[in-house]
Amino acid sequence: MVKCWICQNEANSKEHIIKKSDITRVFGKGPYKGDTEIVHEKNGKYQKLQGPDSKKIKYSPSLCHECNTGFTQPFDRAYDKFIDYVYQNESDILRKRFIDFSDVYGDDFEEGQCALYRYLAKSFGCRLVDAGQVVPDDIITLLRQTPFKTRLRLTLAVQEDILLMSHEDQKGFIGKGDLNLWADKEDPSIFNGYTWSEHVSWFFFNYWYIQDPDGASGSTWHANSQFVYLGVISVLNEEKRNELISNAHKKV
């Protein structure tokens, strides 16, 4: 029996790899055909997506139904509210380069940002299980504890290369990066650190578990402050950037 990594009951519920609401926000409810055809890339393989519930974008079951839908529903809602805010305030955020959680969640921002953080911890846990890793205890307990202690740190960043794409292409750029495993600093025979990222358009969530966050990728956050300053990610060299700029212009 595969156990739910949150409560240890039988895992019978598949979590979306790419959140359903992230897809429907951009592409609608589907089915996706013709002009609205969507292609999903995993490990270099491209597959057509028929709709936002496609099993191609779900993990194998690692949660029970109650944990995946009931218990974690407030976390999912806080995430959706956050992404809605990012899409609706894109130009403002890109100009200011920080997030004030009271702008996102109002007076309840402490509860809101905590729920957002828990959603991201859930997402991270599901990714670890998918990669055959054991979810560390502090990731499980932080879902229920207030206040919580954890070794998971997040940085939020603007992916500058994505901003060079056409606005239409930017919106459809939703996905997750590779999970990287790191050796312990004191005992290199133990691998207990992880880095990972996921993104919705140009907005990147960077995960650092027992790894020092790269300061360039944003201020370090673990639901502990009202303000979070966005870092910058750019992987393309100048030639590639120019190529993207001229392609984007051609489309206009």
From candidates 23, 64, 104, 139, binder to Zn ion by CB under 5 A: 64
User: Looking at beta carbons only, is 8 or 36 nearer to Zn ion?
Assistant: 8
Where do we find the tokens 């360039």?
216
| Binding status of residue 121 toward Zn ion by CB under 5 A | no
| Binding status of residue 114 toward Zn ion by CB under 5 A | no
**# chain residues binding Zn ion, by CB under 5 A:** 6
| Binding status of residue 126 toward Zn ion by CB under 5 A | no
Structure tokens at 151: 């070794």
From candidates 67, 129, 143, 152, binder to Zn ion by CB under 5 A: 67
From candidates 4, 23, 83, 104, binder to Zn ion by CB under 5 A: 4
| Binding status of residue 7 toward Zn ion by CB under 5 A | yes
Judged by CB under 5 A, the stretch of 57-65, 171-179, 194-202, 242-250 that binds Zn ion is 57-65
Contact by Cβ (8 Å): 134, 194: no
Task: Identify the sign of the CA torsion 49, 196, 96, 240.
Answer: negative
| Binding status of residue 6 toward Zn ion by CB under 5 A | yes
Task: Identify the sign of the CA torsion 22, 27, 30, 34.
Answer: negative
User: Looking at beta carbons only, is 118 or 199 nearer to Zn ion?
Assistant: 118
Residue of 91, 141, 123 whose CA lies nearest to 21: 123
Strands 191-200 and 203-209 come out as: antiparallel
> What is the rounded radius of gyration, in angstroms, for the C-alpha atoms of the chain?
18
| Integer Cα distance of 232 and 156 in angstroms | 9
Residue 139 CB, nearest distance to Zn ion (Å)?
14
- CB atoms near residue 209 (< 10 Å): 21
| Integer Cα distance of 159 and 97 in angstroms | 12
Residue 78 CB, nearest distance to Zn ion (Å)?
19
User: Looking at beta carbons only, is 68 or 201 nearer to Zn ion?
Assistant: 68
Q: Give the footprint of Zn ion on this chain (CB under 5 A).
A: 4, 6-7, 9, 64, 67
